Amino acid sequence: MSHPRAPELDNQYRSDRVLQTWLHQHLPVDMRQAIEADLDALGAHAAQAWHEARSRTPQKPVLTQWDAWGERIDRIESTPVWQNGAVMAARYGLVAAGHELQFGEFARCDQFLRVYLHHIASEFHTCPLAMTDGAATALKASGNHELIERALPRLTAREADRLWLSGQWMTERIGGSDVGNSETEARRDEQGQWRLYGRKWFTSAVIGEMALTLARPQGAAEGADALAMFQLETRDAEGRWNGIRIDRLKDKLGTHELPTAEIHLDGALATPVGGLDHGVRLIAPMLNVTRTWNAVCALATMRRCIVLATAYARQREAFGRPLIEHPLHVATLADMQAEFEVAFQLVMQVAHLLGRSERGLASQRDAALLRLLTPLAKLWTGKLAVRIASETCEAFGGAGYIENTGIPQLLRDAQVYPIWEGTTNVLSLDALRAISSVGFEPLLEAAAALLDEADASDAAARMEWPLREIRAALVTIREWLPRQAANKEAMQAGARG
């Protein structure tokens, strides 16, 4: 009998059977060969970062609001891993790879596999990277050439000293789901420039160089349609804050290394990105990209949990044999693995559809499916990551409840996936929004076509189960909606008569 030891992590690329199989089944050989060295390096870095994190005291970012002489400075000091975040992002193209043309429709697959391997090691530096990617995508969609020319090369830079990070400042005290109530106001100054006044309640990338945000132009009506999307740069040419005050950093359940701030905008100079209304519509491309990052990062958490729980089960003994030889324990691990594998296929399907759509290769059917699967993949993987992280704590027994094993952090961090970027119920409603804008028939056709592919190919077969579920849900909703409408009409008629 041996006493429990810390589970070992090996190169997280080489040992990932699901990832390796996906690469072989989906990517052209020359592309696979071209990206392999980077994936291998990220896999090695992931293992090394896990070991290093276990041997040091966890750190949090620190906000210093005033200097010794009483001047307001609002300086955030990041953790060491975050200080190296831009270097890693630029070296491995964590944002850039999704926007580069060389791999055509597979650019997003390449990018998201990199993100998947790096997410846990990055200490959620992937959060501002996701928003940076979202900002690049929303700017491209806006057609604002001046802003695209200025910001896009920086947001997608491959050099750390050129790379800009962007925030996504949407949530206010009045509501994070119901963004249409936003109270931040945009006013023109004497020079005719737009300045923003208000309070943003959760800003996870205030350390970035720019942000996309929503504000209501002075005198505009209430509601979401009257909000405008603005781009602002966080500092002026001298490096001073651009009318931004950092009130405090949030004291959070998890994602401790990520500095999430409450801020005041007090005359921040800003540029309307695409007109003075329809801000929610304009920021939607950003939402869809960050939701995809969320799903990818949720996969990363699941995989890390399963790897650690399995490694522990091989060496921890109970009742005379290793846990891995106890059928009930193995069934628990196998359930986690099965759910992860299906989620992996679904998320990579979304990544591929996004890449096809951005290269102009998406059929109407692809576009419809992408619109529907993006919120579904985010909401499903968000919940699943929490469940798998919780099961992982239990799979470690008491050790899974002890901070410096690193296991509780996986659960605390996972709990954010279902909350930010749209909660589960809000995303369910977004799926209904997608269905009503696209219509049932194209979606049912798309699901049927994919199911045919699944029957024909072993690779696609792993997607079969979620597709069947999604198709069944679509059929149910299609039958339910007219009945709801008829019931409503009957009730209204009853009330009138």
The answer to whether 141 and 68 are in contact (CB under 8 A) is: no
Residue 278 site contact among ligand MFK, ligand FAD, none (CB < 5 to 8 Å, cut-off depends on kind): ligand MFK
CA distance 205 to 261: 8
Residue 290 site contact among ligand FAD, ligand MFK, none (CB < 5 to 8 Å, cut-off depends on kind): ligand MFK
Q: Quick one: which segment of 39-47, 106-114, 169-177, 388-396 binds ligand MFK (CB under 6 A)?
A: 169-177
Site for ligand MFK in 259-278 (CB under 6 A): 278
Site for ligand MFK in 190-249 (CB under 6 A): 204, 224
| CB-based burial label for 291 (10 Å; 0-12, 13-18, 19+) | buried
CA distance 379 to 383: 6
Closest CA to 96 of 140, 133, 131, 125: 133
Cβ closest to ligand MFK, residue 200 vs residue 462? 200
**126 binding ligand MFK? (CB under 6 A):** yes
| CB-based burial label for 178 (10 Å; 0-12, 13-18, 19+) | exposed
DSSP 3-71: ---PPP---TTTT-HHHHHHHHHHS-HHHHHHHHHHHHHHHHHHHHHHHHHHTS-----EEEEE-TTS-
Report the nearest approach of ligand FAD to the CB of residue 245 (Å): 17
Neighbours of 102 (CB within 10 A): 10
**279 binding ligand MFK? (CB under 6 A):** no
Report the nearest approach of ligand FAD to the CB of residue 421 (Å): 6
Show Cβ contacts of residue 321 under 8 Å, excluding neighbours closer than 6 positions: none
**171 binding ligand MFK? (CB under 6 A):** yes
Query: For the chain, how many residues are written?
Result: 497
Site for ligand MFK in 401-420 (CB under 6 A): 420
Q: Quick one: which segment of 47-55, 153-161, 176-184, 330-338 binds ligand MFK (CB under 6 A)?
A: 176-184
**421 binding ligand MFK? (CB under 6 A):** yes
Which residue in the set 50, 164, 293, 312 belongs to the binding site for ligand MFK (CB under 6 A)? 293
Report the nearest approach of ligand MFK to the CB of residue 18 (Å): 20
How many residues of this chain bind ligand MFK (CB under 6 A)? 31
CA distance 330 to 335: 9
Report the nearest approach of ligand MFK to the CB of residue 483 (Å): 23
Show Cβ contacts of residue 256 under 8 Å, excluding neighbours closer than 6 positions: 58, 60
Report the nearest approach of ligand FAD to the CB of residue 432 (Å): 11
Cβ closest to ligand FAD, residue 90 vs residue 170? 170
Distances (CA, A) of 238 to 130, 234, 246, 267: 27, 11, 18, 17
Report the nearest approach of ligand FAD to the CB of residue 416 (Å): 5
Cβ closest to ligand FAD, residue 260 vs residue 392? 260
Residue 448 site contact among ligand FAD, ligand MFK, none (CB < 5 to 8 Å, cut-off depends on kind): none
Residue closest to ligand MFK, measured at CB: 224
Report the nearest approach of ligand MFK to the CB of residue 127 (Å): 4
Which residue in the set 43, 98, 400, 422 belongs to the binding site for ligand MFK (CB under 6 A)? 422
**426 binding ligand MFK? (CB under 6 A):** yes
**288 binding ligand MFK? (CB under 6 A):** yes
The residues that touch ligand FAD, with contacts defined as CB under 6 A, are 167-171, 175-177, 202-205, 252, 255, 260, 416, 419-420, 423, 425-426, 429
CA distance 266 to 122: 32
Q: Tell me which residue has tokens 């052209």.
A: 28
The overall longest dimension of the chain from CA atoms, in Å, is: 80
Show Cβ contacts of residue 455 under 8 Å, excluding neighbours closer than 6 positions: 461, 464
Residue 284 site contact among ligand FAD, ligand MFK, none (CB < 5 to 8 Å, cut-off depends on kind): ligand MFK
DSSP 187-254: EE-TTS-EEEEEEEEEETTTTSSEEEEEEEETT--SSGGG-EEEEEESB-TTS-BSSEEEEEE---SS
Give the binding site for ligand MFK (CB under 6 A).
Answer: 124, 126-127, 130-131, 168, 170-171, 176-177, 179-180, 204, 224, 278, 280-281, 284, 287-288, 290, 293-294, 297, 420-422, 426, 430, 433, 437
